[in-house]
Amino acid sequence: MTSARHNNLCLCNTCHKLCKKPPAAQTKALCPRCYSPLFSRKPETLIRTWALTIAAAILFIPANLLPITTITYLGHSQPDTIMSGIIALTKAGMIPIAIVVFIASIAVPVLKLLGIVTLLLSVQYRWSMNPTQRTLMFRMIEWIGRWSMLDLFVIAILMALINLGNLSEFEAGSAANAFGLVVVLTMFAATSFDPRLIWDQDVTTDDKEPKDIKDD
């Protein structure tokens, strides 16, 4: 198996055109087709991904401890964290909704953070994990990230609907800000990770010929 990098070629990250690899000294090489900066691997990919992931992990703590919503009903205020909101839904018998909120607001962000950290460590310490499985994990992390926005959308909809002055009010809490940042930062972290690093350590055999593409 031979990689593009081995043949002094690199794929444009935006339009996927195969280009000649820019010399290391030339930092401002642009793709001839779409004028995006060319690089064989995303620049500073590990440092950037670590930074974004750590920031998201830190913000995940206030996002879960502070109240995400406060419902005032007939003069009685009830602040809810993400978890207490899920417990309240379960007690009210709305199990399916509780499961949906739990998956979007807790399971997905936690699994994403753990997944990105696993990928980073596996690349840095050359763990012998199956590269195909790791690529699949990366694709899942990329795809599922946006679904964590669900809770914020629900808050926006409920704020519009529940607005009766003193009788009943629905208010977003400070955790919503932290949670919004967690979602955005983890999405950026997934984009800044370069999956090609997973395969770079895999090049054990170095064939001289490129492989033919298989058809589905």
Partner 1 sequence: MTPPFLRERPLTACHECDLLLQPAQKKLHQIVRCPRCGYKLYQHKPGSTHNTIALALAGVVFFIPANTLPIMSMELFGQTHIDTMLTGVTRLFDNGHWWISGLVLLCSVIFPLMRLVLALLVLIPLQLGRSSRAQIEAFKLYHHLSSWSMLEVYMIGILVAIIKLANMAMISPGYGLICFTGLMLCTIGLSQTLDEHTTWDLLEKYRHD
- Contact stretch for partner 1 (CB under 8 A) within 53-61, 75-83, 120-128, 163-171: 163-171
CB of 51 to partner 1, least distance (A): 20
- Contact stretch for partner 1 (CB under 8 A) within 5-13, 21-29, 45-53, 75-83: 5-13
Residue ranges in 54-73 that form contacts with partner 1 under rule CB under 8 A: none
Structure tokens at 166: 């003193």
Please list, in sequence order, all residues whose beta carbon lies within 8 angstroms of the beta carbon of residue 30, skipping any fewer than 6 positions away: 36, 37, 38
- Contact stretch for partner 1 (CB under 8 A) within 47-55, 106-114, 117-125, 149-157: 149-157
User: If binding is defined by CB under 8 A, does position 48 make contact with partner 1?
Assistant: no
> Which of 146-182 are b and which e, b meaning 16 or more Cβ less than 10 Å from the residue's Cβ?
eebbbbbebbeeeeeeeeeeeeeebbbbebbbbbbbb
Helix spans in 66-173 (H): 82-91, 95-102, 108-124, 131-144, 150-161
> In the set 137, 141, 152, 185, which binds partner 1 (CB under 8 A)?
152
Cα–Cα separations (whole angstroms), residue 132 to 46, 144, 183, 196, 202: 20, 18, 26, 11, 11
Residue ranges in 12-41 that form contacts with partner 1 under rule CB under 8 A: 13-18, 33-36
> In the set 75, 76, 161, 205, which binds partner 1 (CB under 8 A)?
161
> In the set 102, 145, 186, 193, which binds partner 1 (CB under 8 A)?
145
Structure tokens at 31: 């793709």
- Residue with Cβ nearer partner 1 (12 or 57): 12
CB of 155 to partner 1, least distance (A): 7
Q: How many CA atoms, within 13 angstroms, populate the side-chain half-sphere of residue 214?
A: 1
